[in-house]
Structure 1
Amino acid sequence: MANHLYKGDLPDGLDLGPVVAIDCETMGLDPHRDRLCVMQLSAGDGNAHLVQVAKGQTEAPNLCRLLRDENVLKLFHYGRFDIAAMYHAFGALAAPVYCTKIASRLVRTYTDRHGLKSLTQELLSVDISKQQQSSDWGAETLTEAQRDYAASDVLHLHKLREALDAMLAREGRSALAQSCFDFLPTRARLDLEGWPGTDIFAHS
């Protein structure tokens, strides 16, 4: 496994294949207040590509091209937040997408534990550390522990998708899951535009 670190954007010519796992690190959980600091991506080959985003940066042409590429499926865990953070920073709305947290909620109805750590433990027998989750991602230089943590958030998403897809198919919920994934970019836009905690389908 190798972690590759870039400043500002992915390098020209980097091909991460038709399915790319993506995660973001920010200064906090409010995309209007807390800036996007790091994006990490993986092709599912055991390697991670980390991009440091500068304060005030509004353009990342190669990243945005990937996010908008209709021929590339973007894998997330809790994609609702990451999609919103990237859209707010760069104006690029990721699609098509897949979210392992949504898939887990639809099919692992026997538990209320849908975090990435719980998923990797149960479905892959892999224990990942969340020690660096609360960390200064806006620092000019990332520590080795930060880089390893960021990488761990994307290295297992491809295998998690395979396991969850098998469960969704078994329970007859694959089409329902796909409908949720299709709506996810719109849900992220609603978060940014003033409806973060509102169920717009509710009666009142």
Structure 2
Amino acid sequence: MSLNKFQVCEGDLSLDMFNQYQKADCLALDTETMGLIPQRDRLCLVQICDREGYVTAIRIGKGQTTAPLLTKLLESEKITKIFHYARFDVAQFKHTFGVETAPIFCTKIASKIARTYTQSHGLKSLVQELEGVELDKKAQSSDWGNVNSLSSEQLSYAANDVRYLIPVREKLISMLQREGRWELTERCFSAISLFVDLDLMYYSNVFEHQA
């Protein structure tokens, strides 16, 4: 089987890419949406990358509520799903497809616990420090809903958001283990599903102290 390193799929993974990804021990994932509120702003694009650098961008149609092959990967206990700010992406998957994503690794949480020498925990800063690559973020705020007419700049931006997550994860784990913070970080990952449920029920501030 010969696969392209970058593919665009409609509505779900192709069977060939599903077969490629289901062999992985971890996958990097990201989403592009119409905004930051899952109940209002729909899911438009899902990006996936494995250790070998095979990237797939899945166009999600308006009103789409199923993606069976993608769902199998998200639910697979054998595959760690790596996100940058998992709380948002996992909430989008649950709201759109009704899927419980697990197990999870969040590079933003890991960065905040490991890199206490900085306040810069965005993906661009993280990739620049740990991988020596400067991401182009110009297409970040754009119309992702017009999925059939996404520009090459948009697709390139979307692909780069997952290309570096796996090596970044490995470096963050090494830092966390070195500093004795890995167990605490794992406990944070296990709590993500709780925060997702609270967010989807509009209880995002339940842990805040208010007079």
User: Which of the two has greater helix per residue?
Assistant: 2
Q: Once the two structures are superposed, what CA deviation does each residue of 1:60-118 show, in whole Å capped at 9, x if it has no partner?
A: 00011111111110000000000001110000011000000000000111111100000
Gaps of 5+ in 1: none
Identity of aligned residues (%): 45
Corresponding residue number in structure 2 for 1:159 = 167
Measured in 2, the distance between the counterparts of 1:18 and 1:50 equals: 20
Structure 2: distance between partners of 1:65 and 1:175: 27
Is 1:5 matched up with 2:13?
no
| Contact 1:21/1:154 (<8 A) preserved | yes
SS in structure 2 of the partner of residue 187 of structure 1: helix
1:181 equivalenced with 2:184 (yes/no): no
**Structure 2 residue 140 is the aligned partner of structure 1 residue 137:** no
SS in structure 2 at match of 1:154: helix
What secondary structure is seen at the aligned counterpart in 1 of 2:191? helix
Q: Report the counterpart of residue 206 of structure 2 in structure 1.
A: 198
Runs of 5+ consecutive residues of structure 2 not aligned to the other structure: none
After TM superposition, the structure 1 = structure 2 runs for residues 61-72 of structure 1, keeping only pairs within 5 Å, are: 61-72=68-79
Structure 1 residue 2: Cα displacement: 3.0
- One-letter identity of the residue aligned with 1:137: W
Cα root mean square deviation, aligned: 1.4
| Residues 1-204 of structure 1 mapped to structure 2, 5 A cutoff | 2-13=5-16, 14=18, 15-16=20-21, 17-139=24-146, 140-199=148-207
Offset, 1:203: 8.5
Distance change in 2, residues 1:203/1:70 (3 Å): farther
How far residue 197 of structure 1 moved from its aligned partner, in angstroms, is 2.9
CA–CA distance in structure 1, aligned partners of residues 205 and 199 of structure 2: 8
Of stretches 28-37 and 140-149 in structure 1, the one that deviates more from structure 2 is: 140-149
CA distance in 1, matches of 2:62, 2:205: 27
**Superposed displacement of residue 45, structure 1:** 1.8
Structure 1 length-normalised TM: 0.95
Other structure's SS at 1:153 match: helix
1:45 maps to amino acid = E
Q: Counterpart of 1:24 in 2: which secondary structure?
A: strand
CA distance in 1, matches of 2:193, 2:6: 28
Q: 2: distance between equivalents of 1:197 and 1:55?
A: 30
TM-score (structure 2 length as normaliser): 0.92
In structure 1, what residue type is equivalent to 2:195?
R
SS of the residue aligned with 1:41? Answer: strand
